[in-house]
Structure 1
Amino acid sequence: MTPSRLRRAAGAIHQALLLLQWQLVRRLPAPRRAPRAEAVLVIPADAEMLTGSKGDEAMLLAARAMARSAFGPEVRLLVACSTPAADARAHAAGFEPWRVWGGLAMPLAFRRLLAAARPTRGWVMGADLLDGHYSPVTALRMIIAADLMARAGLATRFLGFSLNEQPARSVCLAFRALDPRAAVQLRDPVSCERFGRVTGRPARLVADTAFLLPPAPLEEPAAAARRWVRAQRAQGRRVLALNAHPMLFPAAEAAAGAAALADALQAAMHDVAARRPVSWLLLPHDERASAGDLAWLDLLHARLDDGQRAFCHRLLAPPAADQIKALAGEVDGALTGRMHLAIALLGQGRPVLALAYQGKFAGLLRHFALPDWLLLEPAQAVDAAVLTGRLVRFVDELPTLTEQVGLRLPAVLARARLTFAEALP
C-alpha cells in the first residue's frame, strides 16, 4: 500500500473511532453543574498555532471583543490549545489555554475536563474547516466538542463557517447527529444553502466574525506601509493589496501552480502598468510555513524587474490582524486568495478581486451583491492575458464597486453581530 493510501486508511479509522467513542460518551449522564460566573470556551480553527493565520487571529480577537462587550472586561475566556506555542499565544491574547485536544480519546477527555472547568458558553470557530476538506478528523473533533458542550448545558454556537461543494461524509453524518441545542450558523448564503441540503437541518445565516474586528493603531513596519500607500495615492496612483498562496491549487500541483501564478502576475503587472497607474502592496496574511504566503510573495518579488519594484511595497511578515484591518482602509482594493484578507478589505469598504477556492468566495461576494466577474479561478489566473484584463476592469470599476460595498456593509455588519445575538445586551 502506498504512503498516501496508508494515510487515507489511517484517517478513516481515526474518524470511525471518534464517531464510535462520541456515541458512547453521549450515553453517559450529563454532569451536575453548579451556577457560576460567565465563562466562554472557544474552540479555535487552529489549536496548534492558534493565530498563525491572521484570519484565525481576527476571529479570535473579534470573539474576545464580543465576550467582553456582553459580559464585562473581566469575563473568563478559555481557548482549546494543543501545543506550547498555542498556549503562549492564548495568554498574550487574554485567554486561558485549555489543553484538551487531539488523540483518539478526545471525546471522553473533553467531557471530563468540561465538567471540571464548568464554562457557561461554548463558541466554535469553524471558518473553512468544518467541511473536512483539510482534515475530516479536525472537523469531527470540533463538531463533537459542540455537541458535548450543548449536552453539558452550555449555550453553544458555531460562530459562522463555510461549506464547500463536497463536504466529507463523516462530517455530514456528525452534523445530522449534532445536539439540536447547538446553534449552527453559516457565514455566507451559498454555504447556508449547501448545509441545509446535505444535512437536512436548519441553520442561521450570519456573516464572518472577523467583520467585527476593529482596526488598531499602526506600528512599524505597517506604519511605513501606510506612508508609502498615501504617497502613491497622492501621486494619483491606485494602490492594490496583493496576496496569493500555493493552497489555491491541488496539493499535487501546488508548486507548479504557484510558480505559474507568479509568472502570470509579473506579466500582468507589467501590462497593467502600461495602461493604468497602479501600485502594489505585497501583503502576507499567514505565517504558517505550510500555507506559503511568504514563500509565494518571495517567488513573485524575485520575478519583478527594477521598474516594477519601484511601484511595489513589500511587507516581510504579516502585521497583527487588527493592523491589517487598518491597512485595508488605506488601499483602493485587493487581489487576494485569502478569505480573511478579503473580509478585512470589505469590512473597510474596499472591493476585492478574489482568487477563488472550493467555491467559497462566491458566498462572501453575494453578501455585498457584487458581480461574479470578481471571482477568478486559479486555473484562469495563470493566463496572463486573462489576469491583465480582469485587473484593468477592476481598476476602472473601483468607484462603482466601492460604492456598492459601502451600501451593503451596514447590513453585513448587522449579520455579523447576529452571530452573538443571544449574548449581546
Structure 2
Amino acid sequence: MIRRAVRKIRRTFDEAVLATGLGARSDRRNVARWAEGRGGDAAGPHVVITAPGGGNIGDQALFEAFVESTSGPVVAVTSSADSVEVPAALAERVVVLVLPELVYGRGTARRPELERFARTVAGAASLSVIGADIMDGRYSLRASVNRSNVAAAVAALGIDTRIVGFSWNGSARVAARRALVSASTNGVVPMLRDPVSARRAAADGVRNIRETADIVFAADTVDTSSTSFVAGVTKPIALVNVSGLISRTFSQDDEFALIIGHLRTTGHHVILLPHVSRPKGDDLLACQSVYERVGAEDVTFVRELLTPAQIRGLTSIASITITGRMHLAIMTLWNAKPAITLATQGKVEGLMALIGAPELCVVPRAGFGADVVAAIDATIRADSPARRSIADALPRVKELARRNLEGLRTGHAVVEEVR
C-alpha cells in the first residue's frame, strides 16, 4: 500500500515536471551547443527516430517504408539493438545508432546520448520522428514528451524536421499535448495520419498540421514466399490475428471461436497470424490459446513473426482479415482487401474514416464476436460497399502516405557513426 502510494506521488510529480516545458528549453539549449551551430545540409543523411520495434511487425514496417521512400544515407536512431532489422537490400544505406536514453531517459543518464545525437544530426538533411501511436502519452508519457522536445531542438537548427504519420488520441496526456503544441509552433511539421486525429490535434492547439496517411501505405515490397503456408489450399483465405494486448484485458477465446466457426461455415480457410510478440502483449500466446480452442480443421497457425513484405504477400491472397493490430489492417488495405479491426487507443476510427468504411471498426468488448460476424457478412461479397470504398479510396490514401516523405529523396554524403 505504501509503495503504491509512493509510486503514485512520484508519477504525479514527474508528470507535473514534464508539463512545465523545462525539458524542451534544456534540450534546445544543449542541442544547439553540441551541434556547434550547424544547420541543415541537403547532402547530409536523413536521420529517423524509429518506433520501439523489437517484436512488432508494424514498427518494422514503418521503418522499412521510411527507408524505401527516401534516397541517400539514413541514420536510424533506435532504443535498442533489436528495435529494427535492416533488410539486406537497404543495408548499404543505413547506419543504426542505439541511444536507449534519448527517448526514454532523463537527467544525467540521458545527457551523453543527447550530445551524441546532436553531433549526429548536425548537418543532416532532415530529422523524422516515427509518430505512429506513440506521441500522445498514452503508452509512455516521458517518451512522447522527449520525442517532441528533441524534434523542436533540431528544428531550431534550421533542419527539416517532421513527425511522420501519427495518430492523436482524443484524451492525450497534458504534458504530451503541451510538448507537441510547442514543437508545432517552433518549426516541427506534425503529419497526422487520419482526419479524426487531425481534428483532435487541432482542437488541442497543435499548429501547422499536415494531413497524411500512415507511411506503411507508401511501402512497395512484397514477398510471396509466405504463401507457402497454405500451398495446396483451394478455399478462400481469411487472416485472423488475436491481439495479445487485448488479451491482457479479457479472454478472447470465446469470441474468436465464434468468428472462426463462422469463417468455416462460409467456406474459408483460416490463417492464425501473430503480429506482435512482446512480454506485455504476445500475439503468439493469444493465437495459441485460440488455436487450442478451435482445433486444426481448416486452420493454419503461423508460429513466427513474418517480415512486412511477407505479410503483404499473405494479404495479397487473402479474402478478408480480422485483426486487433492496426498495421496488419493497413497491410491488408494496401492490397485493397477489407480488414475488420478491433479498435484500441482511438486510432482505428480514423483509419476507417480515411478509407470510408467505418463498418470495419469493431469495439473489443464482451460479445464483440457477434459484431465481427455481422461485419464479415456485410463485407464478404465482392460488390460490398466496404470493398468498393476501399478500392475507391486506396489511390488517394497511398498518395497521402507519400506526403510524409516529400523532399526526402535527397542526400549523398557517406554516413559515419558519431561516437
- Identify whether the pair has TM-score above 0.5, normalized to the shorter chain: yes
CA contact (8 A) 2:315 2:337 kept: yes
Identity percentage over the alignment? 23
CA distance in 1, matches of 2:388, 2:5: 50
- Write out aligned runs for 1:8-407 (5 A): 8-17=8-17, 19-27=21-29, 29=32, 31-33=36-38, 35=41, 37-46=43-52, 50-68=53-71, 75-86=72-83, 89=85, 94=91, 95-100=94-99, 101=102, 102-105=104-107, 108-109=111-112, 111-117=114-120, 118=122, 119-178=124-183, 179-219=185-225, 222-228=226-232, 231-233=233-235, 238-248=236-246, 254=248, 257=250, 259=251, 261-274=252-265, 276-305=266-295, 309-370=296-357, 372-379=358-365, 382-396=367-381, 399-407=384-392
Structure 1 residue identity aligned to 2:85: R
Structure 1 residue identity aligned to 2:147: M
Q: Deviations over 1:251-299 (max 9, x none)?
A: xxx25x1x2x21122134324534x212211111112232221111001
Structure 2 residue identity aligned to 1:335: I
Correspondence for 2:416? none
CA contact (8 A) 1:175 1:199 kept: no
Moved more, 56-65 or 32-41: 32-41
Q: Which runs of 5+ in 1 are unaligned?
A: 69-74
User: Structure 1 runs of 4+ off > 6 angstroms?
Assistant: none
CA distance in 2, matches of 1:264, 1:24: 50
Q: Deviations over 1:166-191 (max 9, x none)?
A: 00000111112215311111000000
CA distance in 1, matches of 2:199, 2:7: 32
CA contact (8 A) 1:280 1:313 kept: yes
Query: 1:379/1:55 Cα in 2 relative to 1: closer, same or farther (>3 Å)?
Result: same
CA contact (8 A) 2:359 2:386 kept: no
Query: 1:80/1:11 Cα in 2 relative to 1: closer, same or farther (>3 Å)?
Result: farther
Give the drift of 1:36: 7.3
CA distance in 2, matches of 1:333, 1:91: 28
SS at 2:186 equivalent: coil
CA contact (8 A) 1:25 1:107 kept: no
SS at 1:177 equivalent: helix
Correspondence for 1:72? none
Structure 2 residue identity aligned to 1:311: D
CA contact (8 A) 2:271 2:300 kept: yes
Structure 2 residue identity aligned to 1:390: A
Give the drift of 1:192: 0.4
CA distance in 1, matches of 2:4, 2:270: 40
CA distance in 2, matches of 1:226, 1:344: 19
Give the drift of 1:5: 4.6
CA contact (8 A) 2:45 2:126 kept: yes
Q: Deviations over 1:372-396 (max 9, x none)?
A: 332211115x354444333333324
Give the drift of 1:311: 1.0
Structure 1 residue identity aligned to 2:10: A
Query: 1:385/1:364 Cα in 2 relative to 1: closer, same or farther (>3 Å)?
Result: closer
Moved more, 407-416 or 175-184: 175-184
CA distance in 1, matches of 2:65, 2:368: 38
CA distance in 2, matches of 1:157, 1:129: 15
Structure 2 residue identity aligned to 1:22: A
Give the drift of 1:98: 2.0
Give the drift of 1:404: 2.4
CA distance in 2, matches of 1:120, 1:200: 25
Q: Which runs of 5+ in 2 are unaligned?
A: 411-419
Query: 1:83/1:331 Cα in 2 relative to 1: closer, same or farther (>3 Å)?
Result: same
Structure 2 residue identity aligned to 1:280: V
CA distance in 2, matches of 1:164, 1:299: 31
